[in-house]
Amino acid sequence: MKPQHTWMNGRIVPWDESRIHVNSDALLRGASVFEGLRAYRSADGGDLLLFRVHDHMHRLFGTSMRFLRMRSAYGPVELVQGVIDLLRANEVHDDAHARVVVYFDETEWGRELDAPTGAYVLAFERPQSPKVRTGVRVTLSPWRRLSDNAMSPRVKASANYLNSRVAMVDARVKGYDTALLLNDRGKVSEGPGQNVFLVRDGVLITPRKTDAILEGVTRATVMELAAARDVRVEEREVDPTELYVADELFFAGTAVEVQPIVEIDGYQVGDGTMGALTGRLQTAYFDLVRGRTAAPDGWCTPVYGQRVAV
Report the catalytic residues. Answer: 156
Among 195, 206, 259, 282, interactor with ligand PMP by CB under 6 A: 195
Cβ 47 to ligand PMP shortest distance, Å: 22
CB 246 within 8 A of CB 269: yes
Binding-residue pattern over the window 120 to 159 for ligand PMP, x denoting contact by CB under 6 A: ---------------------------------x------
CB 122 within 8 A of CB 89: no
Interface with ligand PMP, residue 190, by CB under 6 A = yes
Binding-residue pattern over the window 2 to 41 for ligand PMP, x denoting contact by CB under 6 A: ----------------------------------x-----
SS (H, E, C) 22-56: CCEHHHHCCCEEEEEEEEEECCCCCCEEEECHHHH
Cβ proximity to ligand PMP: between 12 and 166 the closer is: 166
Q: Name residues contacting ligand PMP, limited to 239-258 (CB under 6 A).
A: 253-254
Interface with ligand PMP, residue 217, by CB under 6 A = yes
Interface with ligand PMP, residue 260, by CB under 6 A = no
CB 185 within 8 A of CB 149: no
**CA dihedral of residues 82, 78, 126, 58 (deg, nearest 10):** 170
**How far is the C-alpha of 67 from the C-alpha of 162, rounded, in Å?**
19
Interface with ligand PMP, residue 207, by CB under 6 A = no
Interface with ligand PMP, residue 64, by CB under 6 A = no
Q: State the number of binding residues for ligand PMP (CB under 6 A).
A: 14
**How far is the C-alpha of 38 from the C-alpha of 293, rounded, in Å?**
17
Stretch that binds ligand PMP, among 9-17, 197-205, 211-219, 278-286 (CB under 6 A): 211-219
CB 263 within 8 A of CB 137: yes
Interface with ligand PMP, residue 53, by CB under 6 A = no
**How far is the C-alpha of 251 from the C-alpha of 253, rounded, in Å?**
7
Interface with ligand PMP, residue 216, by CB under 6 A = yes
Selection from 208, 220, 203 nearest residue 254 by Cα: 220
Stretch that binds ligand PMP, among 96-104, 187-195, 197-205, 239-247 (CB under 6 A): 187-195
Cβ proximity to ligand PMP: between 57 and 70 the closer is: 57
Stretch that binds ligand PMP, among 22-30, 126-134, 214-222, 268-276 (CB under 6 A): 214-222
Cβ 195 to ligand PMP shortest distance, Å: 5
Beta strand 5-8 with 11-14 is: antiparallel
The SS3 of residue 123 is strand
Cβ 109 to ligand PMP shortest distance, Å: 31
Task: Name the DSSP letter for residue 257.
Answer: E
**How far is the C-alpha of 158 from the C-alpha of 139, rounded, in Å?**
23
Interface with ligand PMP, residue 193, by CB under 6 A = yes
CB 194 within 8 A of CB 259: yes
Q: What angle do CA 69, 81, 220 make, to 5 degrees?
A: 65
Cβ 41 to ligand PMP shortest distance, Å: 19
Cβ proximity to ligand PMP: between 3 and 253 the closer is: 253
Which residues are near ligand PMP by CB under 6 A? 36, 153, 164, 190, 193-195, 214, 216-219, 253-254
